[in-house]
Each structure stands twice: as structure tokens, then as C-alpha cells.
Amino acid sequence: MSQPTLVIGNVNWFKYASPQAFYPLAGTMMPWFAWAAAVCCLAGLYVGFFVAPTDHQQGESYRIIFIHVPAAWMSMFIYLVMAFWAGVGLVFNTRLSHMMASALAPTGALFTFIALWSGSLWGKPTWGTWWVWDARLTSELILLFLYFGFMALQAAIDEPRRADRAGAVLALVGAVNVPIIYFSVKWWNTLHQGASVSLTSAPTMAATMFTGMILMAFAAWFYSIAAALHRARSIMLERERNSDWVARYEGTYKS
Amino acid sequence: MNWASWSDFFAMGGYALYVWGSYAVTAGLIVMEIILLRGRSRAAVEQLGRHGKGGRT
């Protein structure tokens, strides 16, 4: 199969769309993202627990925000990236795009669960309930099921190309849910509060709280990239174990 | 500084269950994912020796 080309400024941007070119590149990038995640996480925890003041309404319970908001952002963002790669894979028939979509799903599901879990633990002291079927919480739960559905569908189909295409269609259709989650607090009357942070206005929270939250968001971001690259490399080896480029990586596992 | 002592810190103003419950589960799940990722990577490299091109040459 010939790879498509996209040449802009004398660079073929699809060069890294082939697993043999992407595998070593991903291996080089992975540790940098992992370290960046660790540094941002430590800085975020320090600011979150030792610099940011006690909230005058919620007391110390608000410190769940440093996990909850970054996890919720990542849960939606990873889904959009996953759907993007699934769409690219459907249009260009590039096998690496589908591998990236598959590599993102478990990490996306992880952050979705963390967002729901931390939200539940935050809801109990502030709303008096662990769970309520309002639009924000319900659509986020549907997001978790979409991730599970994507993974289960791919696992259920033996032939990888068919599994890729079926998963990609599900990922694209499910993408409709992401704007529903994001705008649910505007479109419906929800127990969940509206956004404290938006691109169009200043955040309605103390500067140090905001700093801690952004640092944790960067940590979640870098961690997700590192985890997805790590998983994508395993998927490449698993799927392409009978191709020539893979043979040279025999016995290269380092912990 | 927000905390008078370590026990003050761990008490989280009475919200220890909720705050530490969030952080502990998050940390546990991320550690679990890293262990799973490493296991999958190790298995993927090891299978090359058994089934891949490398094993047949």
C-alpha cells in the first residue's frame, strides 16, 4: 500500500505516519513528556496544598479541584483527539492513525473515571449527595461508556483493519457527546456549577488556586501524551510483528 | 502557610476522606496504568523473539 503524501515546504509531513518512522520518534519523546508531567505534578501539588489559601465557602474540600478539573478537561480533550485520529484513519487509511486512536482510549477512560470519582467525593460535602442525574454528570458518565464501548468493540473484532474502522465510526459518532458535556451547564439547569475558567473572561478564582490547577492540567496533559506514546509503541510491535522493521527491536525492552 | 502541623495537614479541615479519597484513588490508578503499560511493552518486545521475524532468522 502506498502511503499518502502531504508536502509543505519541502517536508513530507506524512513521513512520521509510518510506524517504522514513528516508533523510534515516540520512544525519544516519551521520557521528556513523562518528566515534564512529574515536574508539573509536583509543582502543582505544592502550589495546591501549600500556597493556595483555604476557600472561604468550601474550606479545604475545594482542593479536590486540582484533580477534578484537569481530569475532566483531559477526559473530553482525549476523546476529541481520539476521534480526530479515527477520522484521519478512515479518510487516509493510515494504520498509524488508528493505532493512535486505540492508544488514547484507555488513558481517556482513566481520566473520565477520575473526573467522576473525584466529582462524587466533592459532591458529597458540597451538595450533600454522591451522585445526581443532572446533564453534566450524566453526559460525563456516557463519555466513560463511549470509551469502554470503543475498547470493547475493537477487542471483539479479530481482524485489525475491520476493528479499526468499526471503532473509528463509533468514536466519531460519540464525539457529539463532548460539546454536550461542555455546554451542559449552560443549556440545562444543572446542580453542577458553570465554568470558573473560560477563554473569554478572567477566571473567577484566586490566582494561586488557578496556578495550581493549570500546573496540574499541564501534568495531566504531558502524562497523557507519554502514556499514549508508550501504548502506541506496544500496539505497533504487536500488530506489525511480522514486518521487517520490527525485527530490529527484538530484545530491546528496558524498564 | 496553610497548616499548623502535619496532623492538621492530614485532617484537611475535616474533609480528609473526600480530599485524600480523591488523591489516593487517582495516584493508585495512574500507578496501575504505568505498570500495565510497562507489562504490555515488555510482552510486545518479548513476543518478537518467539513469533516475529527476529525469531525465525
Cβ–Cβ gap B22/A68 under 8 Å? yes
How confident is the model over A113-142, as pLDDT tens digits?
999 999 999 999 999 999 999 999 999 999
Amino acid at B26: T
Residue A181 lies inside a defined structural domain of this protein: yes
Give the length of chain B: 57
The structure's pTM equals 0.90
Domain assignment of residue A79, yes or no: yes
What is the band of A240 on the pLDDT scale with cuts at 50, 70, 90? confident
Q: Could you identify the residue written with the cell 488514547?
A: A104
Q: 3-class secondary structure for chain A? A: CCCCCCEECCEECCHHHCHHHHHHHHHHHHHHHHHHHHHHHHHHHHHHHHHCCCECCCEHHHHHHHHHHHHHHHHHHHHHHHHHHHHHHHHHCCHHHHHHHHHHHHHHHHHHHHHHHHHHHHHHHHHCCCCCCCHHHHHHHHHHHHHHHHHHHHHHCCCHHHHHHHHHHHHHHHCCHHHHHHHHHHHCCCCCCCCCCCCCCCCCCCHHHHHHHHHHHHHHHHHHHHHHHHHHHHHHHHHCCCCHHHHCCCCCCCC
A169 falls within a domain: yes
ipTM over 0.85: yes
* pLDDT on residue A194: 80
What is the pLDDT averaged over residues B20-29? 97
CB contact burial B28-41 (16+ within 10 A = b; e otherwise): eebeebeeebeebb
Do the Cβ atoms of A49 and B2 come within 8 Å? Answer: yes
Q: Is B22–A238 a contact, with Cβ atoms under 8 angstroms apart?
A: no
Supply the pLDDT for residue B55: 47
- Residue A10, in any domain of the structure: no
Domain membership of residue A190 (yes or no) is: yes
Q: How far apart are alpha carbons A113 and A31 in whole angstroms?
A: 25
Q: Identify whether the C-beta of residue A245 lies closer than 8 Å to the C-beta of residue A20.
A: yes
Number of domains chain A is built from: 1
Would you say residue A248 lies in a domain? Answer: no
Please tell me which residue of chain A has the smallest CA distance to B13: A60
Distance CA A233, CA A22 (A): 9
- Which residues of chain A does B46 touch, with a Cβ-Cβ cutoff of 8 Å? 253
Q: Please give the interface size between A and B, counted as residue pairs whose CB atoms are below 8 Å apart.
A: 118
**Residues A210-239: what's their mean pLDDT?**
95
- Residue B23 CB contacts under 8 Å (≥ 6 apart), including other chains: A67
Q: Which of A230, A229, A233 is nearest to A246 (CA)?
A: A233
Question: What is the grid cell recorded at B35?
Answer: 505498570
- The answer to whether residue A5 is domain-embedded is no
**Number of residues in chain A:** 255
How far does Cα A90 stand from its chain's mean position? 20
Distance CA A249, CA A226 (A): 20
Which of chain B's residues have a Cβ under 8 Å away from the Cβ of A255?
A: 38, 42
Answer whether residue A160 is part of any domain.
yes
Give the residue on B whose Cα is nearest the Cα of A63: B19
Q: Residue B29's closest chain A neighbor by CA?
A: A110
How confident is residue A193, by pLDDT bands cut at 50, 70 and 90?
Answer: confident
Give the best residue of B20, B23, B34, B57 to mutate against chain A (max A CB count within 10 A): B23
Average pLDDT over residues B20-36: 97
* Separation in Å, CA of A248 to nearest CA in chain B: 7
Quick one: which of A139, A144, A130 has its CA closest to A190? A139
Query: What is the span of the domain harbouring residue A70?
Result: 23-53+64-242
